[in-house]
Structure 1
Amino acid sequence: MNRTEIKLAYILAVLNAVIIGFSFLFAKVTLDYAAPLDTLTYRFAASFIVMSIPVAFGWIKLQYRGKALYKALLLSLMYPLGFFTLQAFGLQYASSAEGGILYACTPVVTLILASIFLKEKTSLLQKLSIFLSVFGVVFIFVMMGSTIDFSNVTGLLLLFMTCVAFAGYSVMARSLSKQFSPAELTYLMLGVGFVTFLVISMIQHIGAGTTDRFLAPITNSTFIVSILFLGIVSSLGTALAANYILSKMEASKMSVFSNLSTIVSMVAGAMFLGEEITVYHLIGSVLIIAGVVGANYLGRKQGVQQQLLSGSSL
């Protein structure tokens, strides 16, 4: 692995955070027209169908034969299935603010799992930087008046499990990157997500006699545009990018970039929804950015040297 590949991984990590930040805006729009499970079905349908085109024409080569396919399926159980399912049910019992606060803890959970299962080593300053980034997100939510209701055990537990699911995905994808290409992991993840969410959604609608509601949103151009962004740009684009990044970068370093999406979502909300940006938003953003830079720059020289030396094994 050369320095160009490492730089590309960092660029994609920032781009990923930008896309995820905007995805919150588009997700809000889709919920005005369809139920959460239906939006997930359409979202993964769009991503899977679009990626199936270059696969069908042979532009993207996939080779699963002789590989530990069950491990890749287990990866899909963590993300997208585990993550989105736990999130959907968790938000039924808890607020979106509580979800945002707990999701900010994902880098910490990833740091712990990566150190246990991948033996990733981080310096004390890098660990402090990761915590600083998490604190920046929590600071913004708290200053907005959001708090965590600890009496709501069910909702908080489910939302915390979304952190574990995404952290588990990051760690396992990092490990599987030695056996599978980013495209192979992404295609399998999207396919499993599409089929699973479609089956569950149709069972619910058929049982309730509301099949017409499932098809109704596709007549709305705003819904279609939002779903295309979520499916193609967000789900497909970020999955490909994330699987590539995890083949070049430690899971603990990549995960901290996710907190940048909080800044992007604030900017998007201000630009398109007229939401206010205050001083505490700016302070929290500075803390987040400082944490991301510190987690990736402090000890970076040593880390890059190790990556270059071990690049052949990746």
Structure 2
Amino acid sequence: MWKIYVMLTLVMFMWGLNLPMLKYLLEFVGPVTMTSLRISTAGVAVFIILSAMKIIRLPRRSEWIYIIPGMLLNVVAHHYFLNAGLTMTSGTNAALILGTGPFLTAVFSSLLIRVFPSKLQWLGVLLGLIGVSSVVLAGGGMSGISQGDVFIFLSIATQVLSFLIVSKAAATLDPRLLTAYMLLIGGSTLFVISLFTEPGELAAFGQVPPTFWLIFGLSALFGTAISHLLYNYSVGQAGPTKAAIFMNLNTLVALLGSALFLGEVITIRHFLGLILIVTGVLFGSGAAEDLWKMRRTRKGAGERNVDGVV
């Protein structure tokens, strides 16, 4: 399980750094057009990776029940609302709203698939929310609810619902293969939508600077392809609630990335938020419980060895 925890932490760093990259890309190309090509590129990359791993196969008819809804929620709705929202709200507001992901996952899991987090996990969710709030408020706080804020909330809500589908699909379909189909079909669907919502926007790609293509490639490969591949695999292994707890780290990394690339100031409240977020992740993910059980097991084994010697 510790390999999954490390994998999820790595994913959160990629997702966190992807937020300022998206803000940069959206300065040059419309949100739907840009994200449709970025997601399609990521889908092709995932298929190449899985082909090398020799796990490509056609889905069974029953598995399309998971692929289509998962694609509509995880790719089309999530990325449409995320990219459109980022053009209408601040990165600070977006970071705070995205930080509600673990709480929404815990609630939806309880209501829809009857998976109830433990008291310690609920404590982790609460600590994570407090930590996320303190980090964002250190940057000036919410500046009033806007349409962009609503879009960001819809993006995280649809993504959380898709994680529940991924956890169900993992029973028969490799989550990594599910990711590949969702990205490729979802990217194509977004492209069709962009033709109606942003006609002629493809021409904007001919006027972007070389740096755009570097950031575009990094965002598509790491911020979407590899990160979604690893995250959906982790959801299948650890379950949606435990995996989602790590999303608290996403907010912190996003703000650190903004400070690094956009010159925002880091304060003591950011470090206090970091402590709360990491504590929340340890409790909410079950890592603290795993450490406690391992310690008790070793202690019990030590006591039995002593008794045996005596």
Provide TM-score, normalisation by structure 2. 0.85
Structure 2 residue aligned with 1:118, among 77, 93, 113?
Answer: 113
- The answer to whether the 8 Å contact 1:46/1:227 transfers is no
Q: Give me the whole-angstrom Cα distance separating, in 1, the residues matched to 2:97 and 2:230.
A: 24
Q: Give me the whole-angstrom Cα distance separating, in 1, the residues matched to 2:47 and 2:288.
A: 40
Task: Verify: 1:182 aligned to 2:171, yes or no.
Answer: no
Partner of 1:40: 35
Partner of 2:140: 145
Coordinate RMSD, CA, aligned: 2.5
CA spacing shift, 1:58–1:127, aligned 2, 3 Å: closer
Provide TM-score, normalisation by structure 1. 0.84
- The answer to whether the 8 Å contact 1:118/1:175 transfers is no
Q: Give me the whole-angstrom Cα distance separating, in 2, the residues matched to 1:57 and 1:250.
A: 26
Give the 3-state SS of the residue equivalent to 1:248 in structure 2: helix
Q: Give me the whole-angstrom Cα distance separating, in 2, the residues matched to 1:61 and 1:125.
A: 39
Shifted more, 189-198 versus 60-69: the winner is 60-69
- The answer to whether the 8 Å contact 2:43/2:184 transfers is yes
Amino acid paired to 2:127: L
- The answer to whether the 8 Å contact 2:169/2:175 transfers is no
- The answer to whether the 8 Å contact 1:104/1:259 transfers is yes
Task: Verify: 1:201 aligned to 2:194, yes or no.
Answer: yes
Give the 3-state SS of the residue equivalent to 2:155 in structure 1: helix
For residue 251 of structure 1, report the CA deviation from its aligned partner. 1.0
Q: Give me the whole-angstrom Cα distance separating, in 1, the residues matched to 2:136 and 2:50.
A: 42
Structure 1 residue aligned with 2:98, among 76, 94, 103?
Answer: 103
- The answer to whether the 8 Å contact 1:174/1:250 transfers is yes
Task: Verify: 1:19 aligned to 2:14, yes or no.
Answer: yes
- The answer to whether the 8 Å contact 1:120/1:250 transfers is no
- The answer to whether the 8 Å contact 2:66/2:166 transfers is no
Q: Give me the whole-angstrom Cα distance separating, in 2, the residues matched to 1:56 and 1:213.
A: 33
Give the 3-state SS of the residue equivalent to 2:28 in structure 1: coil
Amino acid paired to 1:117: L
Q: How does 1:250-265 map to 2 (within 5 A)?
A: 250-265=239-254
Structure 2: 5+ residue stretches without partners? 295-310
Structure 1: 5+ residue stretches without partners? 1-5, 305-314
CA spacing shift, 1:204–1:85, aligned 2, 3 Å: closer
Partner of 2:219: 230
Q: Percent of aligned positions with the same letter in both sequences?
A: 22
Amino acid paired to 1:18: F
Q: Give me the whole-angstrom Cα distance separating, in 1, the residues matched to 2:126 and 2:136.
A: 16
1:47-69 Cα deviation digits (max 9, x unpaired): 12223435667834223024330
Q: Give me the whole-angstrom Cα distance separating, in 2, the residues matched to 1:32 and 1:61.
A: 36
1:120-179 Cα deviation digits (max 9, x unpaired): 2322122011111111111121232222525x4x55443332232121011111111112
Q: Give me the whole-angstrom Cα distance separating, in 2, the residues matched to 1:166 and 1:210.
A: 26
Give the 3-state SS of the residue equivalent to 2:80 in structure 1: helix
Shifted more, 44-53 versus 131-140: the winner is 44-53
Task: Verify: 1:172 aligned to 2:165, yes or no.
Answer: yes
Q: How does 1:48-59 map to 2 (within 5 A)?
A: 48-53=43-48, 59=54
Q: Give me the whole-angstrom Cα distance separating, in 1, the residues matched to 2:264 and 2:149.
A: 27
Q: Give me the whole-angstrom Cα distance separating, in 1, the residues matched to 2:51 and 2:156.
A: 34
Q: Give me the whole-angstrom Cα distance separating, in 2, the residues matched to 1:285 and 1:128.
A: 16
Number of positions where the alignment pairs a residue of Structure 1 with one of Structure 2: 293
